[in-house]
Amino acid sequence: MAKLYASKSPEVTARERRNGERARKIAPQGMVLLKNGGSLPFKNVKTLAAFGSGIRRTIKGGTGSGDVNTRTVVNVQQGLEEAGYTIVSNDWLDLHDKNCQEASEAFTARIKKLFEQQGMKAFGEILSNPYKDPEVPLITSEHLGTKADAALYVIARTSGEGADRHPVPGDYELTENEKQNIEALSRVYDKIVVVLNVGGVIDTKYFRACPAVDAILLMSQAGNFSGYALADALSGKNSPSGHLTTTWAENYTDYPSALTFSHMNGNTDDEYYTDGIYVGYRYFDTFNVTPAYPFGYGLSYTTFDIHTDEVAINGADVVVKVTVKNTGAVYSGREVVQVYYSAPNDNGPEKPYQELAGFAKTKELAPGESQTLLIRFAAASMASYCEKYASYVLSGGRYYIRVGSSSRSTHIAAAIELSENKAVSVLQNKVQSDVELELIHPDCAPYTYAGEADEKAAAPVLTLDPDSIQTETITYSQAPEEMTTDKDFVITLDDVISGKADLKELVAQLTIEEMANLTVGAARGGGFEATSTIGLASNAVPGAAGDTTSMLIESRHIPNLVLADGPAGLRLSTHFVAGPDGTPIPGLSENPFDELINMGKEKPQRPDDAVDYYQYCTAIPIATLLAQTWDPDAVEAAGDIVGSEMEEFGVHLWLAPGMNIHRNPLCGRNFEYYSEDPLVAGICAAADTRGVQKHPGCGTTIKHFCLNNSEDNRNFINAHCSERAIREIYAKGFEIAVKTAQPLSLMSSYNLVNGEHAANKYDTLTSLLRDEWGFEGFVMTDWETTGSPFHNASDKKYPTSDAAGCIKAGNDLTEPGNAHDVEVIIRSVCSGDGAGGIQFAEEGIRYPITKAELQLCAYRILKVVKKIVESRG
């Protein structure tokens, strides 16, 4: 009988309380105060006229696999009431509740019908078209009868995997009713506080133009203690200190990919990344487009002075010493210091106006208190990728170092002079675009500010010695050699751990069938039609997304690994029922996906001797909120929360963090990702990884590698992107996370990258990831890349990925797996000496592979299994 880790008691545990409190403390640190005319923090406020869908129907995080199943969600009303505020607008809130209830019943009826008509295909429809609350009711004079001490309006939006957002009312734009409601409030209240309970960017023009909107707080989505965290922020108990990690544009059409992104041009087969490296502030600054709120922006209840004490070159590093002082008289607060560089643009590849080089956040500073921070970064990190020479190059010339509290409020602190071009790493072009891309180039002067020219002239000039920078040259892998052994006993994992044999020798003893099973997840069925639902394929921990095979437990003592989603916490079934032998009974668990796919089916009989089990996990704030803290320690603490729950429930690999780049605000999964900036994304993913991996036998799975920047047609969209943009923007965060934190695994993405499925792409999965960055873990696919019951691959422009193609590329594990994948791998292996001499006449073989290539994938998976077994015992 498999060991069950779940609790048999439904009672709230001390761990739940502790982790909830920790998440509550982190959340305000990533909430961003966008505007404050003095209404915040609340002073002398006891009663609140509180409107907007987010008051009761607070969004804790988005939908899909990124949603975390929790015991409860503390909504904004509950949070405020427990903090002592009285809500006087319950009539309006009740009305909205009633409308939502009706809409949700109608949705359920529609879905039931869909399942009856389409079977499992209906699941795909739900993913791409999940339930959304109806339009909010209009506020009438009756709702405003009792005048309160303050007016609060909480706008809520949600989105999730499988579908991109739309620039329409109710999504990116405000609805007519929302605008009219603010209008109605402004007739009674001259100061309104607007809170944005959103996972991504929305249009803020209306609020900014409305004089009565006195304060705007981006609450973001803060997990299952959202309401408490917001009350802490509004009351000033834990003041907001977040800064944006993505540019909030004035108009949606200001984003360079606005008109062609995903569904916007009617073509979701091919996405042309003509914006190249000009993503986010790199675009807005270089093309001089004024945003509504710039990258890095965030206010505080207090004010700060940032003074650069010194910029120095220390060996191959640049070190910036900054003193921050809280110059306010009343409130304490934390400030984020950002350092940017502007590289010389008259030499080498074209450069953006500026790029983030490093950052740091102060501790909580009391009024009058100061703190000195050191921000250090490698001079080499200012290099650009030059496709002509297939190298990262520091262009000779003058670099300006800018210090401030947002991308648009910096001052030049120093200039660094490099006398010649210097190659930082010599690589090979590996991921060039498969089509000629018409990349955009600036045809105007970049952003500037009053006094910039004088600052440049007055900047102290430091000299960077080109010889202080080492040039790294990469050697790329050759075809792997077959692993062999002369041991004549059956080698088990215990033998490897005790040193009786080498792991390679164990692998050498595995048959092709065993390795094919090891490199395909444990979910089995005849073909892909029979696989289980996304995110529900684990046999070991109910609600976890998948397992690796259990077939080698007896013969080789190789345990299966349990993989569970993220990124906003650990996604498990909150409650399940098992027979007395500990085998979970399907159809009796509490899990939204499970309930959906069993909709309309009769519930299985509950045996008399069945036992109830509980797995209540914490929903931490979404990744964007975590990044908005600009505090790697806070992100690490969030990872630590998850790691503690992984240990408790027997999960080995967390399918998170997500770290794709916010290229366009309409990506349905941006809430799961950190930033438009790869340095922020990389540092956050590394911190999250550290938090998880400090727990014995727990690892992260950074995802989705790479160019998974949109959701519509996500399994088949072909992302065409330049080598430079892949290296400097879309893969850079992964590179930073791998080099600095070594996550135990990585998930390849659904989409194609320059014509080849990400899961079948050797150049990204082996050349970049392993040869260049030194990744030591294993790679798994995203769920059901080789075929899925949720869509029809035959009507697509591009084919599905291939399980043997995964092996060839270095995508070691296909998840959640099916019998067809195993068969494809077995049939694709060359027989004989593995040298490829055997003909592949067999129908359907797309990727002939050698035994050595299969061994290498099996070896990489087992290396991680061994590490986990050794540290968890």
Instruction: Assess 538 for contact with ligand BGC (CB under 6 A).
Output: no
Q: Please report, as residue ranges, which positions from 652 to 671 form the binding site for ligand BGC (by CB under 6 A).
A: 655
* Nearer residue to ligand BGC within complex by CB, 41 or 569: 569
Alpha-carbon Rg for the chain, nearest whole angstrom, is: 27
d(CA 527, CA 844): 15
Structure tokens at 89: 């607008």
Per-residue binding letters, 620-659, with ligand BGC (x by CB under 6 A) = -----------------------------------x----
* Nearer residue to ligand BGC within complex by CB, 545 or 588: 545
* Nearer residue to ligand BGC within complex by CB, 788 or 828: 788
User: Min. distance of Cβ 783 from ligand BGC in angstroms?
Assistant: 4
* Nearer residue to ligand BGC within complex by CB, 401 or 568: 568
β-bridge mates for residue 410, sequence order: 404
Backbone angles phi, psi at 703, to 5 degrees: -150, 165
d(CA 649, CA 651): 6
d(CA 628, CA 200): 12
Instruction: Assess 160 for contact with ligand BGC (CB under 6 A).
Output: no
β-bridge mates for residue 35, sequence order: 216
Biggest CA-to-CA distance, the chain:
87
User: Min. distance of Cβ 860 from ligand BGC in angstroms?
Assistant: 19
CB 522 within 8 A of CB 546: yes
User: Min. distance of Cβ 530 from ligand BGC in angstroms?
Assistant: 17
Instruction: Assess 712 for contact with ligand BGC (CB under 6 A).
Output: no
Query: How far does the chain reach from its first CA to its final CA, in angstroms?
Result: 18
> Which residue in 161, 547, 677, 723 binds ligand BGC (CB under 6 A)?
161
Q: Determine the residue with CB nearest ligand BGC.
A: 535
β-bridge mates for residue 340, sequence order: 356, 402
d(CA 392, CA 424): 5
Counting residues that bind ligand BGC (by CB under 6 A) gives 10
* Nearer residue to ligand BGC within complex by CB, 52 or 816: 816
Q: Please report, as residue ranges, which positions from 446 to 465 form the binding site for ligand BGC (by CB under 6 A).
A: none
User: Min. distance of Cβ 162 from ligand BGC in angstroms?
Assistant: 7
Burial class (CB within 10 angstroms; exposed 0-12, middle 13-18, buried 19+) of 419? exposed
The residue among 128, 119, 120 whose CA lies nearest residue 714 is 128
User: Min. distance of Cβ 580 from ligand BGC in angstroms?
Assistant: 30
* Nearer residue to ligand BGC within complex by CB, 272 or 673: 673
Instruction: Assess 782 for contact with ligand BGC (CB under 6 A).
Output: yes
User: Min. distance of Cβ 523 from ligand BGC in angstroms?
Assistant: 11
Structure tokens at 508: 């050498």
Instruction: Assess 688 for contact with ligand BGC (CB under 6 A).
Output: no
The residue among 431, 444, 378, 287 whose CA lies nearest residue 722 is 431
> Which three-class secondary structure state does DSSP give residue 853?
helix
Name the H helices within 459-575.
Answer: 493-497, 503-509, 512-518, 553-556
Instruction: Assess 545 for contact with ligand BGC (CB under 6 A).
Output: yes
Q: Please report, as residue ranges, which positions from 552 to 591 form the binding site for ligand BGC (by CB under 6 A).
A: 565
Sign of the alpha-carbon torsion through 163, 167, 170, 174: positive
For the sheet containing 422-426, what is the strand order?
384-386, 391-394, 422-426, 472-473
Instruction: Assess 703 for contact with ligand BGC (CB under 6 A).
Output: yes
Instruction: Assess 783 for contact with ligand BGC (CB under 6 A).
Output: yes
> Which residue in 534, 558, 570, 759 binds ligand BGC (CB under 6 A)?
534
User: Min. distance of Cβ 690 from ligand BGC in angstroms?
Assistant: 20
Per-residue binding letters, 65-84, with ligand BGC (x by CB under 6 A) = x-------------------
- What are the counts of helices (DSSP H) followed by strands (DSSP E) for the chain? 23, 30
* Nearer residue to ligand BGC within complex by CB, 404 or 521: 521
Instruction: Assess 535 for contact with ligand BGC (CB under 6 A).
Output: yes
The residue among 428, 355, 333, 339 whose CA lies nearest residue 386 is 428
Q: Please report, as residue ranges, which positions from 484 to 523 form the binding site for ligand BGC (by CB under 6 A).
A: none
* Nearer residue to ligand BGC within complex by CB, 646 or 655: 655
CB 153 within 8 A of CB 181: yes
782 catalytic? Reply is yes
d(CA 224, CA 549): 33
Instruction: Assess 677 for contact with ligand BGC (CB under 6 A).
Output: no
Of residues 771, 782, 802, 812, which has the active-site annotation? 782
Instruction: Assess 234 for contact with ligand BGC (CB under 6 A).
Output: no
* Nearer residue to ligand BGC within complex by CB, 325 or 703: 703
d(CA 73, CA 77): 11
Question: What residue ranges bind ligand BGC (CB under 6 A)?
Answer: 65, 161, 534-535, 545, 565, 655, 703, 782-783
Looking at the annotation, which residues are catalytic? 782
